[in-house]
Amino acid sequence: MLGWAITFLIIALVAAFLGFSGIAAASTGIAQLLFFVFLVLFIVAMVARAVRGRPPV
């Protein structure tokens, strides 16, 4: 999922550089959404691992 967020961020940067503001805005929004979903899932996984008794990596 983090890979998709980085992909959309790169698309947004290229689109912004070329002047496609609509595509850049949409790609930036998607990249932000995917990054925060990834971050929440990562935190949930770390908490679940700590609750089961194994320390976080």
Q: What is the pTM of this model?
A: 0.67
CA 26 to chain centre: 14
Rounded Cα distance, 3 and 23, in Å? 19
User: Can you give the pLDDT at residue 56?
Assistant: 61
Residue type, 34: L
pLDDT of 33 strictly over 80: yes
User: Can you give the pLDDT at residue 26?
Assistant: 87
User: Can you give the pLDDT at residue 49?
Assistant: 87
Query: pLDDT tens digit string along 19-31?
Result: 888 888 888 888 8
- Among 35, 12, 7, smallest CA distance to 22 is for 12
Query: pLDDT tens digit string along 3-16?
Result: 887 888 888 888 88
Sequence-distant (≥ 6) Cβ neighbours of residue 51 within 8 angstroms? none
User: Can you give the pLDDT at residue 55?
Assistant: 65
